Structure 1
Amino acid sequence: MIKVLVLIDYSTEFSRRFLDGLIQYAQEMGQWSFYRLPVYYKNIHGEEGVIAWAQKWEANIIIAQWNYMSLESLQKLQIPVFLQNYKEEGKCFSNITGDYTGMGAMAAKFFIQRRYNNFAFYGNKGFIWSRERAEGYRREIEKIKGNYYYFESEDLNDKQWEHTHTQLEDWLISLPKPVAIFACDDSFAIQISEICKLNNINIPKEIALLGVDNDRLICNLSDPPISSIILDA
């Protein structure tokens, strides 16, 4: 029996599709046993708590979203470690990733075909998948000598929400219109949609908005609904 410790949040559409694919693979390959540590456990007990649990359960594999800079504790386990979209590439683990540069290029081509001249990207600060999407997007825009604008923020918590929200609002208002905006994912896209609603900025006439993940719940909360790229999981 292969014991797989899973530390992945179920809240995003991509994560749910990824876990569904993982379960299907496990069923085809044989005897796998999964144990999912809830998000609150990682938040309360930190990386050492996660490592202690992995040792107690005698996990054979860890598949995780890892928010800590240090990877030394994971190395000490001496078992295969797979990290979903870790901030940087690493030698002591396998990074579960995708063609994010290509995805950015796809988004740019979508807008270019619709003859936009102004393009913007709204990214998640400090994450390699967001940077690569922005890079692929920017490269295609440079080819046609389009106008490119960039803004990034962290996932917003209670303390930083008001400050970053104000900065994002100022940035959106300052953009030349019409403008095509590619958001790094749907949760960032809906931030743009909500600010546009508060400031009477028309979507799609003034801002064309595209997200990633095709999270139907998030996309349909927006008015109008957010168009989104579907990821292969």
Structure 2
Amino acid sequence: MGTPRIALLIETSRGYGRELLRGVVRYARLHGPWGFYVTPGDFLQAVPRMKSWGGTGIIARVETPAVARAILASGLPTIALGLSDEQLRPESPLSRLSEVVSDSHGAGRMAAEHLLERGFRHYAYVGSRGRVWSGRRLDGFRSRLRETGFEPHVYAQPRPRRAAADWEREQPALAAWLAGLPRPAGVMACNDDRGREVLVACLHAGLKVPEEVAVVGVDDDELLCELADPPLSSVVLNAEAGGYRAAALLDRMMRGDCSEPQRLLVEPLHVHARRSTDIVALDDPEVAAALHFIHDHAAGPIAVPDVVEQVVISRRALEQRFRKATGRTVHDEIRRVRLERACRLLIETDLPVARVADASGFGRVSYLAQSFRQAFGVTPARYRRRLRDGVPDPPDRP
């Protein structure tokens, strides 16, 4: 087979799309060379003339019937991105394509957990009309909140008229809706674009962020999040590894080694906390003080007695009030925060596992490994290979 030539119909204007592309390029550098067709832009893309171009494979977001027809007519190995429920129906020919899809339900649950940890009693969701992943993120957000007895307020987006005027027309409606929420409220936006719009609407409504409304988005588009006012917290998706796995699957398909449709899931990793959710909204000041201390010092050698020293009540009283407010013990919260930090260090750095154990507060590698097996069923090294490097675990030795 000659040099593979791949059409990438992926939105370059979004952080999620760019991370997927980065993973595809990383695979091509290691296993190529590959040639690419890519056009900068948003969700709407066009399929090139694959025969005259010499295309051998496609990775695409199928946004329109025209794109679907062109892909199916090409007969080339294709991996679709995030097919809709309608496209996945058995009678649809698109349902027979392999697919890369973000775990939107899991992202919604993770955003809910992030806000629950901050002690809110009121929650809300702002989505995007017509986006299947937005609905799935709402389902995950709502399901996690219902487990703890909460029900989110859900924003009803006005129907669009003219694309250029949509946000200008919607902004006062969203601002009024946010102003009518009980406060303080934890708000999930379906992605970072929507999160930025929520922050702008809060400004126009005179709402303080995060004191009155805390906001978390999805995708962790770093530039978009850092330019927001205040900087936007966001769920990080494992998109680069997803792109790498998609390229590996397409490579097998082009070689004829894989004929059955596959479904690759892009997992949520953690929440990149920024100023938009930097608050503890608990009514109990002692529990709030304990949480602040744990979050600020869990990377050091702290234990439950160190937390108790920060409050003016007994250990027994703190444990009872802490469990009532958070659903966890003080020790469990220290371990949870340390695990979250260790996960980020494993994915985002090349630090040896021993250094990760020390930097996340576990101290000993054996304690870190034990905690990882209990929480995730794998060792720290396997967790890193699976989620950062996008490669499957090697088979266990007999």
Which TM-score applies when normalising by structure 1? 0.87
Given that residues 119 and 148 in structure 1 are in contact (C-alpha distance below 8 angstroms), is that contact kept between their aligned partners in structure 2? yes
Q: Note if 1:219 corresponds to 2:216.
A: no
Given that residues 3 and 59 in structure 1 are in contact (C-alpha distance below 8 angstroms), is that contact kept between their aligned partners in structure 2? yes
Question: Where do 5+ consecutive residues of structure 2 fail to align?
Answer: 89-93, 240-398
Deviations 1:78-111 (A, max 9, x none): 1122222233334132222122111111111111
1:199 CA drift (Å)? 1.8
Which residue is equivalent to 2:204? 198
Identity %: 28
Q: Note if 1:20 corresponds to 2:16.
A: no
Greater Rg by CA: 2
Which residue is equivalent to 1:33? 35
Distance 1:159 1:4, change over 3 A: same
Report 1:81-160 matches (<5 A): 81-88=78-85, 89=88, 90-151=94-155, 153=157, 157-160=163-166
1:162 CA drift (Å)? 2.9
Given that residues 117 and 147 in structure 1 are in contact (C-alpha distance below 8 angstroms), is that contact kept between their aligned partners in structure 2? no
Which residue is equivalent to 1:73? 70
The aligned amino acid for 2:137 is: R
Higher helix content, 1 or 2: 2
1:128 CA drift (Å)? 2.1
User: 2:237 aligns to what SS in structure 1?
Assistant: coil
Given that residues 7 and 38 in structure 1 are in contact (C-alpha distance below 8 angstroms), is that contact kept between their aligned partners in structure 2? no
CA distance in 1, matches of 2:137, 2:65: 22
Given that residues 9 and 60 in structure 2 are in contact (C-alpha distance below 8 angstroms), is that contact kept between their aligned partners in structure 1? yes
CA distance in 1, matches of 2:78, 2:175: 39
Distance 1:199 1:20, change over 3 A: same
Given that residues 142 and 151 in structure 2 are in contact (C-alpha distance below 8 angstroms), is that contact kept between their aligned partners in structure 1? no
Distance 1:224 1:160, change over 3 A: closer
Count of residues in Structure 1 that have an aligned counterpart in Structure 2: 227
CA distance in 1, matches of 2:189, 2:213: 12
1:204 CA drift (Å)? 0.5
Which residue is equivalent to 1:182? 188
Which residue is equivalent to 2:342? none
User: 2:137 aligns to what SS in structure 1?
Assistant: helix
User: 2:220 aligns to what SS in structure 1?
Assistant: coil
User: 2:106 aligns to what SS in structure 1?
Assistant: helix
The ranges of structure 1 where at least 4 consecutive aligned residues each deviate by more than 6 angstroms after the TM superposition are none
1:38 CA drift (Å)? 4.0
The aligned amino acid for 2:13 is: S
Given that residues 5 and 59 in structure 1 are in contact (C-alpha distance below 8 angstroms), is that contact kept between their aligned partners in structure 2? yes
Given that residues 124 and 152 in structure 1 are in contact (C-alpha distance below 8 angstroms), is that contact kept between their aligned partners in structure 2? no
1:119 CA drift (Å)? 0.9
Higher strand content, 1 or 2: 1
Kindly report the root-mean-square deviation, in angstroms, between the aligned alpha carbons of the 2 structures.
2.3
Report 1:161-180 matches (<5 A): 161-180=167-186
Which TM-score applies when normalising by structure 2? 0.53
